[in-house]
Structure 1
Amino acid sequence: MNYIELTDKALISDNDLSWDDLGGGIKRKIMAHNEQLMLVKVAFEKGAIGTLHQHPHLQMSYVAEGSFDVTVGDHKKVLKKGDVFFAVSNIVHGVVCTEEGLLIDVFNPAREDFL
């Protein structure tokens, strides 16, 4: 990999990337990734549901805006701006957006199903 390719992948401008509309009041923007790591912005309209699901990836999610009812395994909690949840591999997790919000999701390894 030459310096130009490395720089293009290392310095990412939000305005250069487009949102993918997932329907149901949710849109996603993949900000950066390689095989081991992925950072994704997920915007939610009030009332939008991130359906309960599980996957083999580790996931940490930072609440950048809004408020969410979050379920991770048997635990439920209201999380707001500045809070974080951690979903280990294969644990059931999901969110309900109670105030228009934005999650910053980090996955290890990268979610190939998003690409």
Structure 2
Amino acid sequence: MNFKDLTNKTLITDNDLDWEELGGGVKRKVLPFDNNLMLVKVDFEKGAIGTLHNHPHLQLSYVAKGSFEVTMGDDKKILNERDVFFAPTMVFHGVVCLEAGLLVDIFNPHREDFLK
């Protein structure tokens, strides 16, 4: 399934979507989205790093599995399954996976850079 097929989809099964290997023990699956909202699953092997970065999008991330050291601006905290972090616009953030895990990220607006 290509990204154009995901735009404005309302019902889709996880098995219809492919993982995108990002390297370093990280892979991502972009789920249905529209111009205002995007849902993305990011799978991490133990020790994998989500590099410190920022972007103009609002981001809300749910720890679906595992344990992560999360950096948000000048703060660091260990978050575990069922915890959440919020990345405001242009605030530097990143993660180190302490125990193999899965993040479910919501972006507003959608991440055009993820669709290339």
TM range (shorter): over 0.9
Q: Which position in structure 1 is the counterpart of 2:35?
A: 35
Equivalent-residue separation in structure 2 for 1:91 and 1:12 (angstroms): 32
TM-score normalised according to structure 2 size: 0.92
Q: Which position in structure 1 is the counterpart of 2:55?
A: 55
Secondary structure at the counterpart of residue 114 of structure 1? helix
Secondary structure at the counterpart of residue 10 of structure 1? coil
Say if 2:89 is the partner of 1:98: no
Unaligned 5+ runs, structure 2: none
- In the TM superposition, residue 32 of structure 1 has moved relative to its aligned partner by 1.3
Say if 2:23 is the partner of 1:11: no
Q: Which position in structure 1 is the counterpart of 2:68?
A: 68
Deviations 1:65-115, CA, capped at 9 Å, x for gaps: 000000011111000000000000000000000000000000000000000
Equivalent-residue separation in structure 1 for 2:10 and 2:33 (angstroms): 10
Equivalent-residue separation in structure 2 for 1:12 and 1:86 (angstroms): 26
Secondary structure at the counterpart of residue 9 of structure 1? coil
Equivalent-residue separation in structure 2 for 1:12 and 1:75 (angstroms): 37
Equivalent-residue separation in structure 2 for 1:12 and 1:63 (angstroms): 22
Unaligned 5+ runs, structure 1: none
Superposed structure 1 runs of 4+ greater than 6 Å apart: none
TM-score normalised according to structure 1 size: 0.93
Letter in 2 for 1:95: V
What is the percentage of aligned positions where both structures have the same residue?
67
Q: Which position in structure 1 is the counterpart of 2:113?
A: 113
Secondary structure at the counterpart of residue 9 of structure 2? helix
Give the 5 Å matches for 1:76-87: 76-87=76-87
Equivalent-residue separation in structure 1 for 2:24 and 2:107 (angstroms): 22
